[in-house]
Every structure is written in structure tokens, then in C-alpha cells.
Chain A
Amino acid sequence: MYPSGEVFTVIPLGDIVPYLSTVNAVILGVLIAVLLLPILSRTDIYVEVDHRRPKIKAKIVTPREDRIKAALALTSTLASVGVVTTGDVFNFTLFLSLLGMSNMGLIGTTVGDDFALECAFHYGLMCLIASLPLFGGAALILASTGTLSLHELMKLPRGAGGWTLTYGKALLTAGVLGEAGVGPFYAVKVDSFRRIWGRYAFVIHLTTLLTFSRFMEILSLLP
């Protein structure tokens, strides 16, 4: 029995078997429903308060910046869909890397702002460093149980992997923290003090936070 409820569909792609269970479906539904909000609305107008003459000012985003950001937001969304549905630990880490990468790009492609570049650089550093715990954790899980598939890992008795598996889980958690956990922090730092790009900050928050709810399910699947 999966801790995430009944499994609806399974997509067999060789050794990697993505699946959709009740909890995954809920997460996916939330993701898509909430993502529709920023896609269908323009959050680009804001009031600049000037004491003498209040004025309404449109955000200055060049079409080029908007285009690359839309593309990266799409990648980020697809990556988080993958994170939610994947059925394999290593595949999960790769989707997570894609997610971190595109979120870092969303921050870094802000035009006319050195601080955004600074934040993007540090987010990129975090992603780079996080690849040690991410891949290392997956490798330890593979070594201690002989498989990477969540469907097989779930069938193992509790405590099967011993300390190696426990340590692998700790490393994996640290990796998820570094790759996705700090996303909102850097997004907010750029968002609050510098420029208005609310709709993309929204995407970063959503994808990174929902990653955690999926990761909790993975943690409870592991023996």
C-alpha cells in the first residue's frame, strides 16, 4: 500500500515508472490550478507614490526579457510536474536539478539589476553544491538497497538499508533543501526591493514549495 493512497495510472518507461496516486494528483491539481492565475493575469502594473503627483507606472520589461522568462517558467513548471509524478529516486534528483536551474535562470535574467545577478549567482552556487548531497544520496540509496525504483523500495521491510540508507535519506533531504528550499528566499530578495516581476516570483515559489510536498511522500516511501 502506497502511503500516498491509491495509484491511478502507471507510465512504464523502461526502468523509470512514473505514477499518479491520490496525493500526487492533489499536488498536481494544486500546481496547475494555482499556476493558471499568474498566466492569465498581468501583474506588471504598480503605483508609484509621489507626494506631489501620484502616478501610475507600467513595469518596464523588454519583450526579450519577457520571452526568456516565459520559456524558463515553462521549463520550471514541466520540471515540477516531473518531480511530482516520477517514480525513481535518481530521476527525481535530475528533475530537481532542472527545476533549480530554471529558477536560477528566472532570477538571473532580470535586466538592469546587478543585485538580481548577485542573487542568481548565489542561487547557482547553492544548486552546484547541492548536487553532492542529491546525487550522493541517490547513490547511497542505490548501494544499500540495490534499486532506485520507488515501487521496489516501498516493498522492502522497514530498516532494510540500515545506516547507509538513513544517511542517504539525510543527504537527499539536504540536497532538496539546497536545490529548492532557498528558491523562495532569493526570489523574494529580488522581488521585494528591486523590480516588479511578480508573476515569475510566483512561479518560483509554487514550484519549489510543491517540491517539498512531493519529497515528503518520497521520504515516507523509503524504508
Chain B
Amino acid sequence: MTWIADVLLLIGAAFLFLGALGLWRMPDVYTRLQAGTKAVTLGSVAMLIGVGIERPDWWPKLLLITLFILLTSPLGSSTVARAARVIGQRPWRAGDAKETP
């Protein structure tokens, strides 16, 4: 049973790393939000499930944390994207210069 938890933790760590890498590599705010939200949400949820398999008595709190992440993460990213659109941020096209972070 414990190797399933290990695999889930590894998947979570890999996706969190990919999210961080994407945040650094992507050219503009919208693509960075893609990396920062989707990969990080999947990574943290996989990590929480892994921890839940490792420690079965923590399930209720972990479930609540998962619910909270699933609720707030898309909310935050959509709000940031909307704010960027409102102030007139243009999406990146091929050939444009990469924005400085």
C-alpha cells in the first residue's frame, strides 16, 4: 500500500516542479497562469492524496484542504487573468519578446 503513496507523492512533486518551471519559462502572464494553476493544482491534490494514504487518520482535514485548493486556485487565476485583460495586457504571439518576470 505504501508504494502507491510514494508514487502519488512523486507525481505531485513532479507536477509542482513543472508548474514552477513553467512560471519561469513561459512568455507572458496568461501562459504563466496556465502553468501556475493547472500543474500546481494537480500536483498539490496528488500530494494530499498521497499523504492521506500514508496517514489514514488525517483524511477529513486533507479532504477539506483539497476542497479549498480546488475552490481557490481557479478563482485566483481567473481573477488575475481578468485583471490583466482589464488593464489591456495583450496575449503573447510567436515572435514577440518574452516579458521580464
Chains A and B bind each other: no
